[in-house]
Amino acid sequence: MTTQPHPGIIKAPGQIKNLVPPRPLRPTVKMSQTRLLDLVKTQCRIFSMNFNPQRLRLGNKVLRQRLRGPALAAWYPKKTVAFQDLQNTYKPLGLTTFDEAEDDREEAIQMSVTNILHAVWQYVDTFLLSSAKLRGKGRPKKKRTAAGKVVPDIGFRRRSRTPD
Amino acid sequence: MSKAASLFHPKRLNLSGFVNTRVIRDNNKRMAVEQHEPERQALRYMIRNTSLPGRVRAQAQLQLSQMHSYTRPTQVKNRCVASGHVRSVFRDFRINRFQFRMQALSGHLPGVKKASW
């Protein structure tokens, strides 16, 4: 029993084959070993490669590698010209600029001097008044009973129990 | 005994942008690698060259192994230029993913646009 081809498939292999051009034949030229070596040697000389017909391990691949150092060293941004450099350049000529940082520093010094003076003044004030009591900062006066006796101050708990 | 890393401290800091201790350390390593790379490569060449006498090659091995670790290129780590972070740093922009996002959204990276489709 023969199988019928599907009506959708077009079978025309012969036509397709004819469209492909025939592959050209390679010319076979016999070359002597010495001539081939000479060729390789010349090739190496021209392209500045290492001529190594015995294939010895000469480590030339290390010399062929590119240096990675400059690329690695250029990763972080380097310091460029700063405003400070400009100031330093023109300072010997007597040209000064407004330096905000320096201004802030001087202001801070001024502030600290004022603070110290203030502290000194406070100390002198305290010394002149001789005690805290005179400035109304002393301990509160003790509680007095009807008999005119002073309740002994011996702790918070005991005092709370005493009748008024 | 390990040699002191202070050998590689620069006299004056030549960095701008974000700087912290780890960034400075990595930069020191990079400088050391750049400086000592020819020496290291010469030693590596001698070690791999089988035409050299064995004694010379062994000496070269010893010398290479005794060089400071800072001169080794594998010590170098790509850190974020804007924040100093080490993780997920884009090589093309030299910043990590979060800095990249922030800078890209604020339009500081030319040609970078948020994709939407």
Q: Phi, psi (5° rounding) for residue B95? A: -130, 160
Taking only the tens place, the pLDDT of each residue in A42-54 is 999 999 888 888 8
Interchain contact, A69 vs B51, CB within 8 Å: no
Cα–Cα distance, B17 to A77 (Å, whole number): 7
Is the model's pTM score more than 0.90? no
CB neighbour burial string for B45-67, b if at least 16 within 10 angstroms, e if fewer:
bbbbbeeeeeeebeebeeebeee
Alpha helical stretches, state H, A94-162? 100-129, 156-161
Which residues of chain A neighbour B27 with C-beta distances below 8 Å? 75-76
What's the confidence (pLDDT) of residue A50?
Answer: 87
The count of domains in chain A is 1
B33–A65: do the CB atoms touch at under 8 Å?
Answer: no
Asked whether residue A53 is assigned to any structural domain, the reply reads no
- State the average pLDDT over residues B75-98: 95
- Please indicate, yes or no, if residue A122 is contained in any of the structural domains: yes
CB contacts of A65 in chain B (<8 Å) are 41
Tell whether B22 is within 8 A of chain A (Cβ).
no
Q: Look at residue A54 in the predicted model and tell me its pLDDT.
A: 87
Note whether A64 contacts B: Cβ–Cβ < 8 A: no
Tokens (6 digits) for B82: 């804007």
Q: Is the dihedral of CA A136, A138, A142, A143 positive or negative?
A: positive
Show the domain range for A131: 98-135
Mean pLDDT across the stretch A150-154?
56
Q: Is residue A120 part of a domain?
A: yes
Can you give the pLDDT at residue B92? 93
Q: Return the closest-CA partner of residue A76 out of B33, B44, B30, B58.
A: B30
State the average pLDDT over residues A3-19: 54
Q: Which residue of B has its CA nearest to A68?
A: B34
Q: Distance, in angstroms, between A94 CA and closest chain B CA?
A: 27
What is the C-alpha to C-alpha distance for residues A147 and A137, in angstroms, rounded to an integer?
Answer: 28
Residue A45 has a pLDDT of: 93
Domain membership of residue A126 (yes or no) is yes
Tell me how far apart the alpha carbons of residues B43 and B63 are, in angstroms, rounded to a whole number. Answer: 8
**Residue at A142 is within a domain:** no
Q: Which of A65, A73, A77 sits opposite B16 (nearest CB)?
A: A77
Quick: pLDDT tens for B6-50: 888 888 888 888 999 999 999 999 999 999 999 999 999 999 999
Is residue A77 included in any domain, yes or no?
Answer: no
Contact (CB<8Å) A61/B14: no
* Angstrom distance (rounded) from CA A93 to CA A95: 6
What band does A114 get if pLDDT is binned at 50, 70 and 90? confident
- What residue spans of chain B are helical by DSSP H? 21-48, 54-65, 97-105
Cβ contact (<8 Å) for B34 and A70? yes
More confident residue, A155 or B106: B106
Give the residue-averaged pLDDT of A74-92: 85
- Residue A117 inside a domain? The answer is yes
* A positions 72-101 inside 8 Å of B (CB): 72-73, 75-80
Q: Phi/psi class of residue B24: alpha, beta or left (left: φ > 0; alpha: ψ in -120 to 50)? A: alpha
DSSP A52-64: -TT-----HHHHH
Residue A147 in any domain: the answer is: no
Beta carbons of B17 and A76 less than 8 Å apart: yes
ipTM of the complex: 0.87
The answer to whether residue A105 scores a pLDDT higher than 70 is yes
Rounded Cα gap, residues A83 and A85, in angstroms: 5
The answer to whether B86 contacts chain A (CB < 8 Å) is no
| pLDDT exceeds 70 at position A132 | no
For the cut 60, the answer to whether the pLDDT of residue A150 exceeds it is no
Number of Cβ within a 10 Å radius of residue B82:
20
